[in-house]
């Protein structure tokens, strides 16, 4: 199996977080969010992606071991251990993801090539392209 560059995983996480933000913006609480089937399911899928990408970053020591909790949560979602608590998901999407993104921005990983690849892959998605353009600007300012 070919090894992916860490920058691709970081961009995957930014894209997944952006999608989650868009999916959840109209909700004010966990219960309403849970009962909105489409947004709930889509958010759970993006949390799985974040967990998988984080697992790869952990394996390469690109992120701190404290983020193992993200991978553990992904495993709970995937394997359905005791169900998924909507209040925990709500806390993650409304508070914890922003903190994770903040930490990811401080990594010394060049995202330029990964952003360009993501732009090609998402060339028809204006929401993701907007995110990628903003991420590119932010990345250039940090370098």
At residue 123, φ and ψ (nearest 5 deg) are -60, -20
CA–CA separation, 16 and 103 (whole Å):
16
Tally the residues of the chain: 143
Given the residues 45, 69, 74, 105, the one annotated as active site: 74
Q: Give residue-wise pLDDT tens across range 56-68.
A: 999 999 999 999 9
* pLDDT exceeds cutoff 90 at 48: yes
CA neighbor of 140 nearest in space, from 115, 119, 103, 104: 115
Is 79 one of the catalytic residues? yes
Given the residues 22, 69, 79, 105, the one annotated as active site: 79
Query: Which residue has 């993104």 as its token pair?
Result: 101
Q: Report H helices in the chain.
A: 6-24, 30-34, 37-59, 68-79, 86-91, 97-105, 112-121, 126-142
Q: Give residue-wise pLDDT tens across range 80-97.
A: 766 789 999 999 999 999
Q: Give residue-wise pLDDT tens across range 106-141.
A: 898 999 999 999 999 999 999 999 999 999 998 887
């Amino acid at each position: 199996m070919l090894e992916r560059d860490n920058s691709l995983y970081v961009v995957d996480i930014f894209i997944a977080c952006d999608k989650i933000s868009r999916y959840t913006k109209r909700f004010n609480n966990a219960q309403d969010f849970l009962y909105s089937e489409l947004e709930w399911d889509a958010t759970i899928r993006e949390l799985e992606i974040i967990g998988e990408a984080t697992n790869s970053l952990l394996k390469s020591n690109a992120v701190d071991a404290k983020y193992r909790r993200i991978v553990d949560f992904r495993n709970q979602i995937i394997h359905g251990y005791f169900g998924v608590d909507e209040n925990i998901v709500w806390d993650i999407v409304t508070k914890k993801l922003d903190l994770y993104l903040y930490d990811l921005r401080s990594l010394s990983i060049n995202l330029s090539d990964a952003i360009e690849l993501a732009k090609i892959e998402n060339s028809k998605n204006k929401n993701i392209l907007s995110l990628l353009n903003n991420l590119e600007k932010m990345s250039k300012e940090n370098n």
